[in-house]
A and B are shown apart, each in its own frame.
Chain A
Amino acid sequence: NIFINNEWHDSVSGKVFSTYNPATGEKICDVQEADKADVDKAVQAARSAFSLDSVWRKMDASERGKLLFKLADLVERDRAYLATLESLDTGKPFLSSFFVDLQGTIKTFRYFAGWADKIHGSTIPTDGEYFTLTRHEPIGVCGQIVPWNFPLVMTAWKLGPALSCGNTVVLKPAEQTPLTCLYIGALIREAGFPPGVVNILPGYGPTAGAAIASHMGIDKVAFTGSTEVGKLIQEAAGKSNLKRVTLELGGKSPNIIFADADFELAVEQAHQGVFFNNGQCCTAGSRIFVEEPIYDEFVRRSVERARRRTVGNPFDPTAEQGPQVSVEQQRRVLELIQSGITEGAKLECGGKAPLSKGFFVEPTVFSDVQDHMRIAKEEIFGPVQQIMKFKTIEEVIERANNTEYGLAAAVFTTDLNKAMTVSAALQAGTVWINCYNALSCQCPFGGFKMSGNGRELGEIGLKEYTEVKTITMKMSGKKS
């Protein structure tokens, strides 16, 4: 059901939608479908919970932190159940859900719980007979739209800082994956958050999502998803009430492997960097630039590794890879693979849907990829690895940066100079050196250029959820 004011509601319109298990194609259950009218109800609840005399606004900051800690404890208590639900709804391997998604979720809540009573303003030595201080206040009602690739983790990345800073929330999980987010609603209530602080509205982008982006009663919107939809959200925010916007969008992240890299490490990290989560990561290292002297061997070893990647049911502990999240995503990936073949890249392995049931795609490797090809330019969001050759450092930096995206990048080298210089030159919000997908809630994450606006996580993540008020007081004559 829809979660508003700590209660479960049917949709105003009576509509429901279905959520499916992508490993089998079968329906899991029906879910109440939120539309504009439900968003209006939720905003009203969130606005009321944010009023100056509300329990939430009057609560000690440290007490907000305690509630977030309690929420983390409850997620930990129900870890196995949530991991199961997540795998069922997304198709990601259960052990991944348990060890990566659930860990990230719990740690993110705990990290932001610790910030709640440490959100400092300043006192400032202004000119004249004045005393000035700043307060970092909550913004207000925050709309949050999360994607289907890491439903629970993305929910934590959104709720953690928003609640730590004292905001109230209207959150829409992706229509493909509403289940774990709704379960969090139950835990929010159990933890003791006052009613209306968090409201969860499962539904579709063009209806519920659009209602959030253009709502006159929402003060800020945070969106994680495709660049295409991100642009619509920012436009709607401008057109409506200039609500503040943060966006975490797509990527076509370059992974640069120098000849002096630790070869084994580079092959494995490049493999995981593109294939993790069935290739459905905004950070997917989907353009791998390999220095000429090691190129052939690198391709050979990468293909060997891809062939060894086990594909199967998410609940099979030996399966490294599950299905894509939906038939639409599966089709899109297969279409892009076809374009790679058509445009002349060399298909080294994979390329097909291996099973008739479920939305699977084989681990696929292309070599001899040229920068102009669609598979080198467009975000695939599937288990497809592109390997390209480069000669010089200047050349590869230019090619790596030659994209509208700028989310992540990586460099593999043992040379200190190369590591420092290349990481400084890359236009990406996160640059990994001799690793990939090393994400931690203490560190800011976000995109250069069209991969996003703003940063999530870390101390910097708090900025996006506070509104700064400057208070200047006239001082009587004497200035001490």
Chain B
Amino acid sequence: ALHCDHATMAQNGTIENGLARNTSPLPQPVKIPEIKHTKIFINNEWHTSIKGKKFPTINPATGVKICDVEEADKADVDEAVRAARAAGQRGSEWRQMDASSRGRLLHRLADLLERERAVLATLESMDTGKPFLHAFFVDLDGSIKTLRYYAGWTDKIHGKTMPVDENFVCFTKHEPVGVCGAIIPWNFPLLMFMWKIAPALACGNTVVIKPAEQTPLTALHTGALIKEAGFPPGVVNIVPGFGPTAGAAIGSHMNIDKVAFTGSTEVGQLIKAAAAKSNLKRVTLELGGKNPCIVFADSDLQSAVEETQKGAFFNQGQACTAASRVYVEEAVYDEFLRLSVERAKNIAIGDPLEPRTSHGPQINQHQFDKILELVASGKKEGATLECGGCAVEDRGLFIHPTIFSDVKDHMRIAKEEIFGPVQCIMKFKTQEEVIDRANGTQYGLTAAVFTRDIHRAMSVSAALEAGTVWVNCYNALHAQAPFGGYKMSGNGRELGEYALAEYTEVKAITLKLSERLTL
């Protein structure tokens, strides 16, 4: 498949890492006759919802219900918070544990994810509609690596000693914040689960985490692995449910010390307001984006086409990093467009569990409708539809990869986050102009520059108002490097050493020494 090269994914760093070339056949989805974990996970036990509610989770490729899941509401969140609070008390097993032992547990969890990799990838594919091989090679790889990365940090979280005036000894401790609420989205359910719990647990916190109502299954399966790994009860609690009920309960809980949210900017604003109104809990947000790619005439054009397209269509366009605006320098605009359209037409659409598939369905009807509505606005407002622009016939929630050209900055498709497989290609003349246009948004999550020129690469990346700027690549994310948004794309940073600051509370201890002891 041209869209995402599965053969390349399968090699996945083997050559660089000196391993033998991977000659085994591609991994296969697993037959899952029954979904084992569908309940609320509190204190390492499985609970039914207090109000007796359940909700279904649907396979978006088929429209068929996978199973019912216990629905957590405020009362269940309260239970979970109580468990998390107790598990994180001074004197608890979790707090008494050596920092290095926390690291052993995170490693053990990573080992268990490796063991269950095919099962988790299958569940993820069924629940989200993403191609199985993407789930296996991207989502699972990222999840395992994130856990191992933070496992290494646990006993390296340093405070400082500092020389203060007069006869005092002063040092800081970087303590856990406490009970951390986490609300994660449906586009990379397992990966987002790990981005939240790994740094939180590395720093010694306890967690109450709500997976998205569209995609609870891999989170719940991970609950079983968390117990198997040996985390003490109450350290991680999982409350599947809806935003306005369980999510809101977390955002405004008086006994949660910090909330981390990944999702839409709109809901992010609600969460921040609720955090302030309740108990000033600390807040980190990873929100939407309208991420610009800038392609200069001196770039490797073929590579720029591939990377920008990956950026636009990966995960069916359902990524906060989606490269939905591509600015192409006038001189290469026509060629870029031609190559992009040709490429888009060859994307393999099909059953996500099939190995040839690179493009699956959108997550649900609501998203599907929203995307097609924006596509219609593009047509109406005068952009040129180059390919796609409609649903795949007789195929439920599938939408054709879509390219618009002659897009103007004022059009809705150029301003609003689409979260679908729609790429908008615009023309530009000068560097100064395109930088202003790229920055002309309330968002600021990611951006990319395609050029061979060193000066251009350095000065454009310096000028872009985005938390991550890619040069001659796209979606190159690593557990070691921070990720997060400028402006309304978010607050704070995840990943890398930087995430640790969001999950620790700094205490300064100042000791006065008696004046009598002068030596």
Contact = CB atoms under 8 A, between A and B. Distances in A.
B497 A113 contact: no
B24 interface: no
Contacts of A394: 519
Contacts of B151: 114
B156 interface: yes
A107 B98 CA distance: 12
Given A60-B13, A62-B149, A107-B100, A55 B18 contact: yes
Contacts of A348: none
Contacts of A294: none
Contact of A421 (B454, B459, B519): B519
Contacts of A417: 513-514, 517
A480 B459 contact: yes
Nearest to B104: A110
Interface in A447-480: 459, 473, 475-476, 478, 480
B149 to A, nearest CB: 7
Contacts of B511: 416, 420
A425 interface: yes
A58 B16 CA distance: 6
Contacts of B169: 420, 424
A393 interface: yes
Given A118-B480, A120-B497, A476 B155 contact: no
B519 A56 contact: no
A115 interface: yes
A436 interface: no
A59 interface: yes
A113 B519 contact: no
Contacts, number: 95
Given A65-B152, A117-B149, A59 B519 contact: no
Contacts of B16: 58-60, 63
Contacts of B479: 62, 117
Given A442-B155, A478-B459, A393 B517 contact: yes
Given A69-B107, A107-B100, A475 B458 contact: yes
Contact of A113 (B145, B152, B455): B152
B455 A476 contact: yes
Contacts of B103: 110, 114
B519 A425 contact: yes
A411 to B, nearest CB: 13
A477 to B, nearest CB: 8
B18 A56 contact: yes
Interface in B464-508: 479-480, 497
Interface in B12-28: 13, 16-19
Nearest to B107: A69
B132 interface: no
A111 B155 contact: yes
Nearest to B463: A480
Contacts of A420: 169, 511, 513
A439 to B, nearest CB: 14
A217 interface: no
Contact of A118 (B100, B104, B156, B519): B156
A421 B107 contact: no
A60 B497 CA distance: 17
A183 interface: no
B148 interface: yes
B145 A118 contact: no
A476 B459 contact: yes
A474 to B, nearest CB: 8
A131 interface: yes
A122 to B, nearest CB: 12
A231 interface: no
B153 interface: yes
A397 interface: yes
A305 interface: no
B437 interface: no
Contacts of B463: 478, 480
Contacts of A9: none
Interface string A56-88: 101111110110010000000000000000000
Q: How large is the interface on A (under 10, 10 to 19, 20 to 34, 35 or more residues)?
A: 35 or more
B459 A60 contact: no
Interface in A231-249: none
A421 B513 contact: yes
A66 B149 CA distance: 10
Contacts of A480: 459, 462-463
B158 interface: yes
A194 interface: yes
Contact of B480 (A59, A111, A117): A117
Contact of B100 (A63, A111, A115): A111
Interface string B325-359: 00000000000000000000000000000000000
A58 B19 CA distance: 12
A418 B463 CA distance: 55
Contacts of B458: 131, 473, 475-476
B461 to A, nearest CB: 9
A117 B155 contact: no
B22 to A, nearest CB: 15
Contacts of B13: 60, 63
Contact of B152 (A63, A114, A194, A425): A114
A120 B13 CA distance: 22
Contacts of B99: 442
Nearest to B459: A476
Contacts of B104: 110
Given A59-B18, A60-B16, A442 B100 contact: yes
A244 B50 CA distance: 65
Contacts of A476: 455-456, 458-459
Interface string A192-212: 101000000000000000000
A131 B13 CA distance: 30
Interface centre among B13, B456, B459 (most CB of A within 10 A): B459
A60 B17 contact: yes
A107 B19 CA distance: 26
Interface string A382-397: 0000000000011001
Contacts of A393: 517, 519
Interface string B175-191: 00000000000000000
A315 to B, nearest CB: 30
Contact of B153 (A66, A118, A131, A416): A118
A194 B18 contact: yes
Contacts of B149: 62, 117
Contacts of B459: 475-476, 478, 480
Given A120-B497, A473-B458, A418 B517 contact: yes
Contacts of A69: 107
28 contacts: A55-B17, A58-B16, A58-B18, A59-B17, A60-B13, A60-B17, A62-B148, A62-B149, A62-B479, A62-B480, A66-B148, A107-B100, A111-B100, A113-B152, A114-B154, A115-B152, A117-B152, A117-B479, A131-B458, A192-B18, A393-B519, A417-B517, A420-B169, A424-B169, A442-B99, A442-B155, A476-B458, A480-B459
Interface of A: 55-56, 58-63, 65-66, 69, 107, 110-111, 113-118, 120, 131, 192, 194, 393-394, 397, 416-418, 420-421, 424-425, 442, 459, 473, 475-476, 478, 480
Given A114-B154, A118-B480, 6 more contacts: A55-B18, A60-B13, A111-B100, A192-B18, A420-B513, A424-B169
3 A-B pairs closest in CB distance: A114-B152, A55-B18, A476-B455
Interface of B: 13, 16-19, 99-100, 103-104, 107, 145, 148-149, 151-156, 158, 169, 454-456, 458-459, 462-463, 479-480, 497, 511, 513-514, 517, 519
